[in-house]
């Protein structure tokens, strides 16, 4: 498995596959053809259907201003649902081209070239093998991470955590209508401030966690800087839990960084053995993964053992199986923003079940990931980030 740093990428929203990945692809392509005076980028598959709402063209044009962006919605035989064809020109003459795939979480792959993220860091390929390694070496998951990763990991996690907190704080302070034409108001600030009369501690906790998740997701919808965790669409789940734990419950920052590391490990196992792309396997791969990562993070913070961490991640994923991706108008707003808040609360419920019942479980984390991947491959294309089905369709028909 690769480094967990590939799970957390800092970039502009609203979509890791549709803005962070294409932006990164444009940067690489621009570097290859510094003499080019114009470009053409053809977007296929999910990028062509929801790229307009997600701002894919805008992300590419911010790097390559003199570019004709073409949305090709008719080509169907694609090597990946998020395929782009970049071509560079000088005085009308073609200099070269490259097919680039946005493979989820802001990562890209250039056709017939090794990926920039191909370096193997973890010998285990799945969660079971990681547990075996830990028990052979009498270490915990955290020790394994710090033994195998580069010494710069801690500093990277610190930068990631700062960016996550900044997104929460900007989102809590902002008001107004989100861009894109759906007229969705920002709601994080009012949720944060709206304490009800006689509010119980449980309601306060859920309200605050939801407010933090809304804050980050609204920043994402506004095309501001967020951290893929593991994607932009699901970027509010982990920060909301960790922000609550540090700022409202008093957990120290060093423990928050450890929790972020374990969450990254869970995301890493998912992206290695399945996918984290809504265009490939639906929202279960985005929100389900984030929920699972957040559950593992919270279980780590609470000092639970490795089996409990795994079970919490498994429960969180299992009950997101089959979740479809159907963003209205191709915007990462409805159902995405509320979905982040609900997933954060579900992550904590999963930890609570795991804490008490981990010795009775029947399904491993690896099994639920395999199930998710197969479910995603079986999913009708309408429900894989095309905005052709579900809420997107119902809303259009109104």
Interacting residue ranges for ligand SF4, rule: CB under 6 A: 233-234, 278, 283, 286-287, 325, 327, 332, 335-336, 339, 385
Closest CA to 335 of 106, 206, 182, 194: 182
Long-range contacts of 274-277 (CB under 8 A, 24+ apart): 274/369, 274/370, 274/372, 274/373, 274/376, 275/104, 275/373, 275/376, 276/104, 276/105, 276/230, 276/231, 277/17, 277/81, 277/82, 277/103, 277/104, 277/105, 277/231, 277/385
The nearest distance, CB 278 to ligand SF4, in angstroms, is 3
Question: Judged by CB, which is closer to ligand SF4: 210, or 301?
Answer: 210
The nearest distance, CB 163 to ligand SF4, in angstroms, is 19
Question: Judged by CB, which is closer to ligand SF4: 314, or 385?
Answer: 385
The nearest distance, CB 383 to ligand SF4, in angstroms, is 9
Question: Judged by CB, which is closer to ligand SF4: 228, or 246?
Answer: 228
CA distance 258 to 262: 6
The nearest distance, CB 335 to ligand SF4, in angstroms, is 6
Question: Judged by CB, which is closer to ligand SF4: 63, or 237?
Answer: 237
CA distance 371 to 249: 35
Omega before 14 within 30 of 0, i.e. cis: yes
The nearest distance, CB 124 to ligand SF4, in angstroms, is 27
CA end-to-end span of the chain:
46
CA distance 349 to 292: 11
232 and 20 in contact (C-beta within 8 Å)?
A: yes
The nearest distance, CB 198 to ligand SF4, in angstroms, is 34
CA distance 305 to 5: 24
Question: Judged by CB, which is closer to ligand SF4: 160, or 237?
Answer: 237
242 and 259 in contact (C-beta within 8 Å)?
A: yes
Question: Judged by CB, which is closer to ligand SF4: 105, or 233?
Answer: 233
CA distance 328 to 321: 21
Question: Judged by CB, which is closer to ligand SF4: 300, or 387?
Answer: 387
The nearest distance, CB 337 to ligand SF4, in angstroms, is 9
């Amino acid at each position: 498995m690769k480094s967990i740093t590939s799970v957390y990428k800092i970039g502009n929203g609203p979509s890791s596959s549709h803005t962070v990945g294409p932006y990164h692809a444009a940067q690489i392509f621009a570097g290859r053809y510094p003499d080019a005076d114009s470009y053409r980028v053809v977007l296929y598959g999910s990028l062509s259907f929801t790229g307009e709402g997600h701002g894919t063209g805008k992300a590419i044009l911010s790097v390559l201003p003199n570019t004709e962006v073409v949305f090709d919605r008719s080509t169907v035989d694609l090597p990946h649902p998020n395929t782009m064809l970049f071509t560079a020109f000088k005085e009308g003459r073609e200099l070269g081209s490259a097919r680039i795939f946005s493979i989820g979480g802001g990562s890209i792959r250039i056709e017939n070239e090794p990926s920039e993220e191909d370096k193997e860091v973890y010998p285990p390929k799945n969660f079971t093998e990681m547990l075996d390694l830990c028990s052979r070496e009498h270490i915990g998951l955290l020790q394994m991470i710090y033994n195998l990763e580069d010494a710069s990991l801690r500093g990277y996690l610190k930068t990631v955590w700062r960016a996550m907190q900044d997104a929460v704080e900007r989102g809590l302070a902002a008001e107004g209508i989100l861009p894109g034409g759906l007229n969705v108001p920002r709601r994080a600030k009012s949720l944060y401030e709206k304490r009800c009369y006689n509010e119980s501690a449980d309601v306060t906790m859920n309200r605050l966690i939801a407010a933090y998740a809304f804050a980050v997701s609204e920043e994402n919808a506004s095309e501001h800087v967020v951290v893929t965790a593991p994607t932009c669409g699901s970027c509010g789940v982990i920060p909301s839990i960790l922000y609550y734990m540090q700022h409202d419950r008093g957990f120290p920052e060093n423990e928050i960084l450890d929790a972020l590391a374990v969450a990254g490990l869970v995301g890493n196992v998912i992206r290695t053995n399945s996918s984290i792309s809504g265009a490939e396997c639906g929202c279960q791969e985005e929100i389900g993964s984030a929920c699972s990562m957040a559950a593992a993070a919270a279980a780590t913070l609470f000092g639970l053992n490795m089996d409990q961490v795994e079970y919490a991640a498994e429960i969180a994923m299992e009950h997101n199986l089959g979740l479809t991706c159907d963003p209205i108008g191709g915007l990462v707003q409805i159902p995405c923003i509320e979905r982040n808040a609900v997933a954060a609360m579900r992550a904590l419920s999963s930890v609570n079940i795991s804490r008490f019942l981990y010795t009775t479980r029947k399904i491993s984390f690896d099994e639920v990931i395999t199930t998710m991947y197969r479910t995603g491959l079986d999913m009708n294309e309408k429900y894989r980030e095309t905005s052709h089905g579900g809420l997107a369709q119902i809303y259009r028909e109104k």
